[in-house]
Structure formats: structure tokens, C-alpha cells
């Protein structure tokens, strides 16, 4: 079983170490100082009191690796379109693409059923390129719950969590998804195979859609956002709007809004990924976490006034910092509140 991790940063590096330790034939696509360090000294994982170093194949040129059984995409979602052509040498007739990314994935309406079957979403897949050129039919969904960080080039620190739920867009428990889940479990990870993967995607997105942009605007950690009356109320308003949209598409939430907010509060003084990106001068995941929910609201004709306001502010904040190159522009009707 040949596995390529495309975008071997913090999460990709964590998976790479775990898979390599389990004896999988794993390759990593990375770049820059991180890649140079991995080539020279291997890839090291710091997990509690344990340290593990592995020496998988590492490259910045996927053409060196050949066709894979699985390509696990751990890039930031807004970066995927830019590497579609570079990914092509990895793709054979039976290759599966595992989308271990935040937010709504490009394949969302593949085997969805209903009026939107086969639709693409411009905010996450401009021009439908991922759908056509990577292939929605290749996709396996994956939700990333662990927190990891690159402590130094070639060194990954595991902070918490080891859960990677998996699922086919169709809901079927296929041999492909089960084989991948079994491998994850063999490495010590949790990888439940879900027959309703979209429910789990929205459950995680439910927090990201509000906590991420609010944190980028306020520089507050999760405990503060969920405790301060004003930011808690704003988070709740965005989550209520998001829930209405998701339920229109048949999504079922297994917890209510207050429980979801309380779960985030209990994480403590954690900086969201969007705040971390802002502080480090990296492009923020605004479109896959926020704009896409607005776009899906437009499809369902559900007003999103709270989300619209926060999205407009965080987009402007990112533009001022030079950290936004997404699809929403001042002339874009998606950036306007519904009357």
C-alpha cells in the first residue's frame, strides 16, 4: 500500500511519523526548510515524554514518487487548487484522495443526492477544477481533530488528540475506506468509519466558522471567546445561522449549540488556527471555513447577517495584512448581507 502525504506540515508530519513507524510505504511532499531538515535528519515527533524519528521519502516533486494507492492531502484548503497539476503524477485509476483539511471539501456534493448533486462551490473550488482534475469520485473524507505544531524544521510536536474519522461521500463502508482505517488504527490512531461523514464535517466546522474569525479579529483565545458575553453571543448567532443552512442539506447535529460552545471553552487558552496564521503572517483559511458557509446560505436562501458582518471584517483584516487572496471581493454579492 503506497501512501503519499501531500503537504507534510504539522498534521501531515504527525501522520507521516505514525504511518512510517507502523511500516507503511509512506512518502511526504513538503518544501522549504522543513523539507531540507527532513532530508538531512529525518522527521521527528515529540509526543509527551516520547520522541520518535523516522526517515521516509521526502520530496518537493511528486513526479518522483509515482502512482499511489492513497494521497492524503494535508494542505491548507485554500492551497489545493494551486497544486492540482503537481499532484497528477500521483494519480492512477484506483488512487483515492483523502481530504484531511479543514472546512467543506471540494467533493461535498458528490453522491449527496437531491437538487445540488454534482454542484461545485466557487469559494473552495474556483471553476470546479478540483472536482474535475483531482476527481470527486476519488475522494474519502477525513476530519482532523488532533492539535500539532512544527516546533522546528523537521520536528513535529503533538499537543493533543489522535482522532481522524473517515468516510465515503456515499456513506458506504467500502474496502478502500476500511483498509485505510485499519492502517490508521494499527499506528495507534483512532479512525472510525462513518456512514454520515458530512455530519462530522459540519460539527467541526460549526466551531471553526465563528471562533476562528472572531479570534483573528480580537486576538482572544477560545476560553475568552466562549466566556465573554459579547463574543459568546456572537458565536452563538453565527452557529445558529450555520445550523439552519446545514440542516437544509440534511445534516444532523449530535449536540446542541450550547454544548458545542462549552466544549470549545473547556479546551482553554488555545489560539485558533486562523489567529496563529495571522500572527505568523500566513494566509488565513477564510474561504473554506467562513465564505463557503455564506455561499451555501445563498444557495438555500437562508440569511446570515451575523456571519456576513464577521466575514466582511475578517476579510478586510486579512487584506490589510496581505494575507488574503480568496474569492470574496467588495463587488462580490456574497459579501453583502441578505436584505
Q: Is the distance from CB of 288 to CB of 99 less than 8 angstroms?
A: no
Closest CA to 125 of 89, 84, 170, 90: 84
CA–CA distance, 72 with 2 (Å, rounded to integer): 11
Q: If phi over 0 gives left and psi between -120 and 50 gives alpha, with beta otherwise, what is residue 48? A: left
CA–CA distance, 53 with 44 (Å, rounded to integer): 4
Q: How many helices (H) and strands (E) does the chain have?
A: 13, 11
Question: Is 86 among the residues known to form the active site?
Answer: no
Q: At which residue does the C-alpha cell 503537481 appear?
A: 86
Residue 141: phi and psi, rounded to 5, are -80, 150
Within 10 angstroms of residue 226's Cβ, the number of other Cβ atoms is 23
Q: Which residues contact 115 (CB under 8 A, 6 or more apart)?
A: none
Helices of type H across 137-196: 175-186
- 3-class DSSP assignment, residue 26: strand
Q: Is the distance from CB of 137 to CB of 169 less than 8 angstroms?
A: no
Residue 171: phi and psi, rounded to 5, are 90, -5
Closest CA to 238 of 221, 215, 219: 215
CA–CA distance, 292 with 121 (Å, rounded to integer): 7
- Which of 190, 204, 252, 301 is labelled catalytic? 204
Q: Which residues contact 209 (CB under 8 A, 6 or more apart)?
A: 238, 239, 242, 289, 290, 293, 307
Which residues belong to the active site?
204
Amino acid at each position: 500500500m503506497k501512501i503519499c502525504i501531500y503537504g507534510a506540515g504539522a498534521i501531515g508530519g504527525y501522520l507521516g511519523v505514525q504511518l512510517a513507524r507502523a511500516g507503511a510505504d509512506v512518502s511526504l511532499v513538503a518544501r522549504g526548510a522543513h523539507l531540507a531538515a527532513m532530508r538531512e535528519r529525518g522527521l521527528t515527533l515529540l509526543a509527551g515524554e516520547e520522541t520518535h524519528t523516522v526517515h521516509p521519502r521526502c520530496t518537493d516533486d511528486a513526479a518522483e514518487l509515482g502512482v499511489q494507492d492513497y494521497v492524503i492531502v494535508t494542505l491548507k484548503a485554500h492551497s489545493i487548487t494551486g497544486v492540482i497539476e503537481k499532484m497528477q503524477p500521483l494519480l492512477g485509476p484506483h488512487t483515492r484522495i483523502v481530504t484531511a483539511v479543514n472546512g467543506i471539501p471540494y467533493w461535498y456534493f458528490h453522491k449527496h443526492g437531491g437538487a445540488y448533486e454534482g454542484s461545485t462551490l466557487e469559494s473552495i473550488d474556483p471553476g470546479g477544477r478540483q472536482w474535475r482534475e483531482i476527481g470527486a469520485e476519488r475522494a474519502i473524507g477525513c476530519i482532523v481533530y488532533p492539535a500539532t505544531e512544527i516546533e522546528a524544521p523537521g520536528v513535529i510536536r503533538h499537543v493533543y488528540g489522535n482522532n481522524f474519522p473517515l468516510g465515503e461521500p456515499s456513506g458506504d463502508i467500502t474496502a478502500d475506506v476500511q483498509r485505510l482505517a485499519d492502517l490508521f488504527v494499527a499506528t495507534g490512531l483512532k479512525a472510525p468509519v462513518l456512514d454520515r461523514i458530512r455530519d462530522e464535517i459540519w460539527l467541526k466546522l460549526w466551531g471553526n466558522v465563528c471562533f476562528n474569525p472572531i479570534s483573528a479579529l480580537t486576538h482572544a483565545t477560545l476560553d475568552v471567546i466562549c466566556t465573554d458575553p459579547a463574543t459568546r453571543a456572537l458565536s452563538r448567532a453565527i452557529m445558529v445561522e450555520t445550523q439552519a443552512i446545514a440542516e437544509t442539506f440534511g445534516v444532523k447535529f449530535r449536540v446542541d449549540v450550547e454544548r458545542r460552545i462549552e466544549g470549545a471553552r473547556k479546551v482553554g487558552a488555545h489560539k485558533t488556527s486562523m489567529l496563529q496564521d495571522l500572527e505568523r503572517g500566513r494566509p488565513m483559511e477564510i474561504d473554506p471555513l467562513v465564505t463557503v458557509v455564506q455561499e451555501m446560505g445563498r444557495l438555500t436562501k437562508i440569511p446570515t447577517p451575523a456571519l456576513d458582518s464577521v466575514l466582511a471584517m475578517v476579510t478586510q483584516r486579512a487584506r490589510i495584512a496581505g494575507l488574503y487572496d480568496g474569492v470574496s471581493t467588495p463587488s462580490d454579492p456574497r459579501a453583502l448581507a441578505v436584505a
